[in-house]
Amino acid sequence: MTEKEKMLAGEFYNTRDEELIGMYFRTKKALKAFNNSDPEDHEHRLRLLSELLCKEVHDSVWIESPFFCDYGENIAIGKNTFINSNTIFIDNNVITIGDNVLIAPNVQIYTATHPTVAKERVNINNNSEAPYKTFTKPVTIGNNVWIGGGAIILPGVTIGDNTTIGAGSVVNRDIPSGVLAAGNPCKVIKKL
């Protein structure tokens, strides 16, 4: 099994693997082109995004610059979705975003994580591998979701359809469909 396959399977993997590092640098070059592109040239920006992300991007998708991610190819975005500026998607596993989603500025979506106990996390004695252990969990955001500014979505979270996440929330567990949820940690406030 390759390190990329381990990464996508949620197993510990070597973040310094040659294939993954190559993907990372290709993505950084593609992001530079996208983030520096003419904001009025929507067709060109969509072409750049379609090359960067895991599938063709529908012409109704709008992503503001700057946009940041690790690999791009692990991100799927549905139709009529708006992603505002300064969003960070750590897509070491799959990030799936549904249709009609609004993502406010400074939202962070993480799929990578590490053991919480230092001696389990840090690779002190073996320099041939990454200096720390990393594994991943996918993130899924349903249709018609609004994620408020500065929210952080942690690895393994699913947010159901028709849900609103309040600004500044830290979403560390699944949130059901049709609710308003907010806070740190993010909790359901009411049904919508």
Q: Which whole-number Å values give the CA distances from 167 to 31, 105, 107, in the listed order?
A: 26, 10, 9
Contact, 109 vs 90, CB < 8 A? yes
Distances (CA, A) of 77 to 49, 61, 72, 115: 10, 8, 11, 29
Which of these is catalytic: 42, 44, 58, 114?
A: 114
CA distances from 81 to 34, 78, 93, 151 (A): 17, 6, 20, 17
Tokens of 48: 């750049």
Of all helices (H) and strands (E), which one includes residue 75?
Answer: strand 75-77
Active site annotation includes 58? no
Residues with catalytic annotation?
A: 114
